[in-house]
Amino acid sequence: GLGLSFISLSLELVQPECTCNSNTKVVDCRGRGLYDIPRRLHPDTQELYLQDNRIRGLGSMAFRDIPLVRILDLSNNSITSISPTALLGLRTLQRLSLAHNSLRELDKRLLGPIRSLSHLDLSHNSLWGLHGAMGESLRNLSHLGLAHNRLTRLDRSLLENLGHLDSLTLRGNPWRCDCQLIGLKLWLETYLFKGGVVDEVLCSQPAEMRDRDLQKIPYQLFHACMTTSYHYLFANIHHLESERLLRGGGGGSMPECEPKQKQRPVNLRHAIATVIITGVVCGIVCLMMLAAAVYGCAYAAIMAKYQRELKKNEELAAAQGADHATADEKEPLENAIA
């Protein structure tokens, strides 16, 4: 019995860290109690599963041995830090999961070299925000998971780059539904209109909006934001909101949004904005046409006056020439008589 126990223990000790399938090029390292990324992985690996381990961080070029990997799953670990160059060299990476870790922030350079990423899951972390500069690397995303983090707002420049996004998870974040979040509300309208799918954005602050769905809050509750800067009135038409505009009205702090009793349909607001813009453009065009007409009339009058004066001068010159000729003819006749 003791010998069999020893043999069993020895087999467990020499058990490989991962199982590899040479046909599918899949490496499975799930639930092996790993603290680091395994070494000497086959360079042809296309899928690497590392979930349910004890990995705490990712160093520089942590996956240099597998440059062809397409799927990388690091969910349910204890990752607190990731080097900005951890994913360097993974140009074909398509799916990345960092869900159920302890990440507080991601360096804006982390996804820089990757242009093929289509699925990114960052849910169940402690992220307080995503840098707007990361948007360039997320242009081809079809799914983005941000549920259950500590997000209070999202950078509008990041959202504008998500042109191919099909599904988005945002639930479980402490969203602060004030002037800083109007950019997300406006973007969600366009995103949903194009057929995108999102779970929900429930407000945590301020107190009067707690547990309300951002998508169902009427624009009138953001009236204070609208009056702070007129740019917000046309935001959903031109999509020009940015962090600078949000901070431009109050020296770095925006006034709290005041709830209003009277509500007007969202479409009516958009219609009014469109009419105002059309009226301004038409007015400018009319003024330009009027200025052109006045200029044309003035030019025609000046030219007509100039032509009249020129003709008059020519007639005077002709008359004076005739007088001189008559005088010259009289002089020889008078001399002959004398």
Q: Write the pLDDT tens digit of every residue in 259-306.
A: 444 444 445 666 677 778 887 888 888 888 888 888 777 778 787 777
CB 197 within 8 A of CB 230: no
Least confident stretch, 51-60, 135-144, 309-318: 309-318
Q: Residue 335 is inside which H or E element, if any?
A: helix 266-337
What CATH number is attached to the domain comprising 172?
3.80.10.10
Q: How far is CA 166 from CA 140, 154, 185, 235, in A?
A: 10, 18, 17, 23
316 three-state secondary structure? helix
In terms of residue numbers, what domain contains 88? 19-221
Q: How many CB atoms lie within 10 A of CB 295?
A: 10
Beta-sheet pairing, 19-21 with 26-28: antiparallel
Q: CA-to-CA distance for 38 and 124, rounded, in angstroms?
A: 24
In the predicted structure, residue 66 carries a pLDDT above the cut 90: yes
Least confident stretch, 5-14, 149-158, 195-204, 237-246: 5-14
> Which among 30, 94, 88, 31 has a CA at the least distance from the CA of 59?
88
| pLDDT for res 269 | 62
Average pLDDT in the chain: 79
In the predicted structure, residue 324 carries a pLDDT above the cut 90: no
CB 42 within 8 A of CB 68: no
| pLDDT for res 86 | 94
Q: Report yes or no on 317 lying in a domain.
A: no
More confident residue, 303 or 141: 141
CB 253 within 8 A of CB 246: no
DSSP state of 302: H
Q: CA-to-CA distance for 332 and 182, rounded, in angstroms?
A: 104
Q: Report yes or no on 338 lying in a domain.
A: no
Q: Report yes or no on 10 lying in a domain.
A: no
Q: Residue 196 CA to chain centroid, in angstroms?
A: 16
Gyration radius from the chain CA atoms: 38
Q: Write the pLDDT tens digit of every residue in 198-249.
A: 999 999 988 888 999 888 888 766 666 655 444 544 554 444 444 445 445 4
> Which among 43, 93, 42, 41 has a CA at the least distance from the CA of 72?
93
Q: Write the pLDDT tens digit of every residue in 72-130.
A: 999 999 999 999 999 999 999 999 999 999 999 999 999 987 889 999 999 999 999 99
Q: Report yes or no on 88 lying in a domain.
A: yes
Q: CA-to-CA distance for 195 and 188, rounded, in angstroms?
A: 11
Q: CA-to-CA distance for 21 and 257, rounded, in angstroms?
A: 57
Q: Give me the residues paired with residue 169 across strands.
A: 145
Q: Provide the b/e sequence for 78-100 (b: ≥16 CB within 10 Å).
A: ebeebbebbbbbbeebbbbbbbb
Q: Report yes or no on 105 lying in a domain.
A: yes
Residue where the block lists tokens 């469109």: 274
Q: Give me the residues paired with residue 213 across strands.
A: 202
Q: Report yes or no on 258 lying in a domain.
A: no
Q: Tokens in use for 197?
A: 């799918």
Q: CA-to-CA distance for 93 and 71, rounded, in angstroms?
A: 6
Q: Report yes or no on 321 lying in a domain.
A: no
Q: Report yes or no on 334 lying in a domain.
A: no
> Which among 42, 12, 8, 5 has a CA at the least distance from the CA of 27?
42
Could you give the number of structural domains in the chain?
1
